[in-house]
Amino acid sequence: MAAQRQPQGRIRINQETVVIAISVVLFLVFSIFLNKFLSQGNIIALLKNVAILGTLAVGMGFVVVGRGIDLTMVAVMVVGVAFSIWLSTQGVSFTFAIVVGGLLVALLGLFTGILVAIAEIPPIFATLAIASAVYGAGRILFSSDVLYAPSNIQWLTFIGSGTIFGIPMSVMVFAAVAFVMSLFLKKTRFGRLVYASGDNPAAARNSGLPTRPVIITQYVVSALIAFIAGIIMTGLVTGINTRLYNSTLIYDVLLVVVLGGIGLSGGQGGVRNVIVGTILVGILINGMTILNFSYTSQNLIKSVILLGALAIDAVINPRDEQTSQSGDI
Amino acid sequence: MKTMKKLLLAAIAAVSLVQAPHMAQAADVEQIGRSAYLEAMTGKKVIFVPLSQGMDLNQAWVTVWQRHAARYGFTLEVRDPNMNTDAGIRALQGAIEEKPDLLIVQNPDVQTYARMLKQAQSAGIKVLQVNMQSATQTDSYVGNDWIEMGRLEAGELARTCMAPGAPSKKIVWLAGVQTGAANIFMRTGIDQIIAENPGLELVSDQPADYDSEKARQITETVLQQHPDLCGIMGIWDNAEVGAGAAVLAAGKQDQVTIVTNGAGADTGCESIKKGLLDVIYNFNAPIQGEIAAQQISELLQHPEREAGAEKTMFFGPITRVDKDNATGRNCWKIDDFK
């Protein structure tokens, strides 16, 4: 919102522009020095490889804008889909099992939302605990880490390997989720409520806005988006690996959100920031995989570049009393 | 009716009397060494610290061992750290404190547990390592010959990709975790085969972290760089299905050969049938479990031998499984052993 108040014709350098600049530089460098980086196939592969990360980040961004954080997303994603697959092995049709899984996931989101909004447990602790509980429950229910979906589900195969106008369905689903979320945040009254309650929750509540239902809805939506990401993954690799809960995926998601310029203090940024962050991570991972960098050095370079982006922003836009907000982490 | 019943009872009594001397005679015949064996097993305590019980191989081992334990009266406790090394170290520390008769360990890598295994041995606890070795050699190791596994997989690709008419001589190694014992040893075997086959080119070696989606992403990117790729080697069938998905999505299933290894679970055979994998070097986890069960019995039967006094190795069987023999024993389900 701050950007809209800037005088016309002057580019305001903020974190988003820094990240875009780094992305452009990396893109150019890779295009010049890496053979076939700039091929249509590779660009599509690049996008396909960040579709899941990006989808999760849209959901996380939605919560962070409202000054929350949802660390349950990866747990909900893997356990929600694994539950559906497990249910389908009990004699229920897979499509119906997915609907039931979706309901379960929505209930989990509702529960998280109630804990955060009504019991007023800080979201970082509430979601951390719930993530562990959800994964633990899943670990008891399913004996194996990896669960395979039934092989003859046509719509799932289509999500995994289908294309529309040459663009993989996984990317299309990510784009659709991002587009709907962007419209929702920008064009609906509810979307503005999310910004208002994220920017200053006390003021929002004092002026009579329904902040609690807004917060609860955010967690339900982020849980459902996590479920969608899980369905994309199941389509892509025919199964779901519940051990992803133990990976750094949830931090990567958070990183994409913060990197793109959605402050953890809430009330700022939007879907565009998520896309910017996702694309930078996508370019980085793709380039480093082509360069055949080792796993450790990939993580190191990724962290250094991400830290660099945050540092540049801190230098250009130093925090002071005017720019900082209460509740800033 | 009543007389019939009485007659029947009398007949049964008569038969029992005739049988009785025979039964007494049977009780005298003792299977030689059985009572000593039973005595050695009964009441013993075995603790297993796995990587994670969520993996098919672990489930097969533990099912086999539990059956063995229930039959011969020793206890098997599984302390599952669920892939968390810190939790694993705590589980090991706890286990050493309890002084079990035997400790079974599946190592996350060669270093993490190495010192603790030494401690366990000097505390007089016998240690059996399964499938994933530590830098410390203990009483016994049962599991794969991982260098041979690397040679087998790379050899498979060398045969395919060095043959006339092969799309290229380019191959990919999708490791699991680079510090894992299995990874290090497999890489040694792979390097030997590459050295023996000049021209065979390793174009990418990225760890997929035992995750199918990561394997898919790497394969997707590598296929863009090397559209003429000939083969992919992996370390766990459940991860390499992701590589298979990327190859299928690119429509290159006839060009790229995907070879990996696995515990021999039915899911692996399904992946072969779906066309996601071409060859699995199947190390048959239930048979591995039986060999380890034999080692458990051996180690429990000789409490007089000092821990670490003898160091033995047992490599399990490895079967090459492709679409022609992805049936029967090569595709087990956990319920088959219960």
pLDDT at A161: 86
pLDDT at res. B285: 95
**Which residues, at least 6 apart from B173, have a Cβ–Cβ distance to it below 8 Å?**
B187, B190, B202, B204, B205, B233
Whether the pLDDT of residue B5 is over 80: the answer is no
Are both B166 and B133 inside the same structural domain?
no
Q: Is the dihedral of CA A191, A193, A197, A203 positive or negative?
A: positive
Same domain, B150 and B271: yes
Instruction: Centre a 10 Å sphere on the Cβ of residue B21 and count the other Cβ atoms it contains.
Output: 9
Closest CB to A241 among B53, B212, B221 = B212
Same domain, B162 and B61: no
**Nearest-CA distance A230 → chain B (Å):** 11
What CATH number is given to the structural domain containing B136? 3.40.50.2300
Interface predicted TM-score of the whole assembly (ipTM), two decimals: 0.86
Give the pLDDT confidence score for residue A1 in this predicted structure.
Answer: 43
In-domain check, residue B112: yes
Same domain, B92 and B201: no
Q: Which CATH class is domain A15-315?
A: mainly alpha
Which tens digits make up the pLDDT trace of B244-283? 999 999 999 999 999 999 999 999 999 999 999 999 999 9
Residues B301, B250 share a domain: no
Q: B182 with B260, same domain? A: yes
In a domain, B60, yes or no: yes
How far apart, in whole angstroms, are the C-alpha atoms of residue B152 and residue B70? 37
**What is the Cα Rg of chain A in Å?**
20
Q: What is the DSSP string of A292-312?
A: T--HHHHHHHHHHHHHHHHHH
Q: Are residues B44 and B14 in the same domain?
A: no
Whether B164 is in a domain gets the answer: yes
At residue A4, the pLDDT reads: 46
Residues B257 and B245 in one domain: yes
Tokens of B39: 């005595």
All residues of chain A having their beta carbon less than 8 Å from the beta carbon of residue B220 are 45, 48-49
Contact status of B277 with chain A (Cβ, < 8 Å): no
What is each CA distance from B173 to A302, B117, B147, B202, B303, in whole angstroms?
A: 22, 31, 14, 7, 44
Q: According to the model, what pLDDT value does residue A2 have? A: 45
Given a cut of 50, whether residue B35 has pLDDT beyond it is: yes
Give the DSSP H/E element, type plus range, for residue B214. helix B212-225
Nearest 5°: the CA angle A286, A288, A289 is 65
- B331 domain residue, yes or no: no
A27-36 pLDDT, tens per residue?
999 999 998 8
Same domain, B216 and B296: no
State how many domains chain B has. Answer: 3
DSSP per residue over A193-232, as a string?
A: HHHHHHH-HHHHHHTT--HHHHHHHHHHHHHHHHHHHHHH
In a domain, B21, yes or no: yes
Most B-contacting residue of A144, A231, A249, A299 (CB-CB within 10 A), to test interface: A144
Task: Give residue limits of the domains in chain A.
Answer: 15-315
Range of the domain at B24: 2-30
Is B219 among the domain residues?
yes
Question: Which residue numbers of A have CB closer than 8 Å to B's CBs?
Answer: 35-36, 39, 41-42, 45-46, 48-49, 52, 139, 143-146, 148, 151, 160-161, 168, 233, 236-239, 241-244, 246-247, 285-286, 289-290, 292, 294-296
**Of B282, B304, B330, which residue constitutes the final position of a domain?**
B282
What contacts A114, CB < 8 A, 6 or more positions away? A216
- B226 with B191, same domain: the answer is yes
B218 CA: distance to closest CA in chain A (Å): 7
* B335 is a domain residue: no
Q: Residue B293 domain-assigned?
A: yes
Cα angle: B258, vertex B259, B262; to 5 degrees: 130
* pLDDT, tens digit (0-9, with 9 covering 90-100), for A47-62: 999 999 999 999 999 9
pLDDT score of B178 more than 90:
no
Q: Do B221 and A286 touch (CB under 8 A)?
A: yes
Helices and strands per DSSP (H, E), number in chain B: 11, 12
pLDDT per position as a tens digit, B6-15: 666 666 665 5
Q: Are residues B159 and B45 located together in one domain of the fold?
A: no
Q: Is B108 on the interface with A (CB under 8 A)?
A: no
Residue B291 and residue B267 share a domain: no
In the predicted structure, residue B141 carries a pLDDT above the cut 60: yes
Going residue by residue through chain A (329 aa), what tens digit of pLDDT does each one get? Answer: 444 444 455 666 778 888 899 999 999 999 999 988 999 999 999 999 999 999 999 999 999 999 899 999 999 999 999 999 999 999 899 999 999 999 999 999 999 999 999 999 999 999 999 999 999 999 889 888 899 999 888 999 999 889 999 899 999 999 999 999 999 999 999 999 999 988 888 889 899 899 999 999 999 999 999 999 999 999 999 999 999 998 889 988 988 998 888 888 888 889 999 999 999 999 999 999 999 888 778 888 888 887 887 787 777 767 666 555 555 54
* pLDDT number for residue B16: 57
Q: In the 8-state DSSP scheme, what is residue A58?
A: H
